[in-house]
Amino acid sequence: MRPNTLIPPLQIGLGVQLHHLHGSRALVDLLHSLGFCSSYHEVQCFEQCAVSSQGTDLSGVSDGSFIQFAGDNVDHNLKTLEGLGTFHGMGIIGAVTPGEKRSRPKRRDTSVNANQISTLGQIPVLFYNSPKTEISLRYEELQDFSLEDVTTKLDLLWKVSWSLRTPRIGWSGLMQAVSEGSFPGQSTITAN
């Protein structure tokens, strides 16, 4: 393979994986010097291009899909004496069910910088203003349901099945085995 003619997928993939797992520039540079992975600069360029190509766009989600968002924060280096060099970040993912296969090519762009990435990752916060009308509460008698809900015993059934010589299945496997009806499909995850 000649250098600078193309970006080999195995080498860039190994470099991105090493950087993700260990966060070590020295390790990526060492393996690059031996010809096993791409350079640290190329790994950073790939990561910045991947972030800038995704953004917060969820276009193409079909009607009737269920979207669930989950967010969490990260704090790094908080206990410093002077309070400098700390980091607070927020990440959000969206799970779309049923999942849709989306494939966007990642264009190589060396001009992507941190300011462009920070503007792409912003999600506007919209505040809900409740209507000013008064809503009265109504209390009604509950109907007496004589039918017992069979799903209340599923947890006990799952624990009893462990003692049997059947293959062990997890809770989600048991729910799949006893559920009836159509399944909407596997979810896809979109990280923002």
Determine the pLDDT at residue 185: 73
Domain ranges for the chain, please list them: 1-54
Determine the pLDDT at residue 119: 75
Determine the pLDDT at residue 1: 43
Determine the pLDDT at residue 59: 67
Give 133's DSSP letter.
S
User: Where are the alpha helices (H) located in the chain, listed in sequence order?
Assistant: 9-22, 25-33, 40-54, 114-120, 154-161, 171-178
Predicted confidence (pLDDT) at residue 110 exceeds the cutoff of 60 = yes
pLDDT tens, position by position, 9-37:
899 999 999 998 998 999 999 999 998 99
Q: State how far the Cα of 28 lies from the Cα of 134, in Å rounded to an integer.
A: 63
Q: State how far the Cα of 39 lies from the Cα of 130, in Å rounded to an integer.
A: 54
What type of residue is 12? I
The token pair at 18 is 């090493």
Q: State how far the Cα of 182 lies from the Cα of 176, in Å rounded to an integer.
A: 11
Q: Find, among 32, 8, 3, 6, the residue nearest to 18 by Cα.
A: 32
Determine the pLDDT at residue 92: 80
Predicted confidence (pLDDT) at residue 2 exceeds the cutoff of 70 = no
CA-to-CA dists, residue 124 to 32, 56, 120, angstroms:
41, 10, 11
Q: What is the mean pLDDT of residues 57-79?
A: 78
pTM for this model (two decimals): 0.46
Determine the pLDDT at residue 156: 76
pLDDT tens, position by position, 123-143:
667 777 777 777 777 777 766
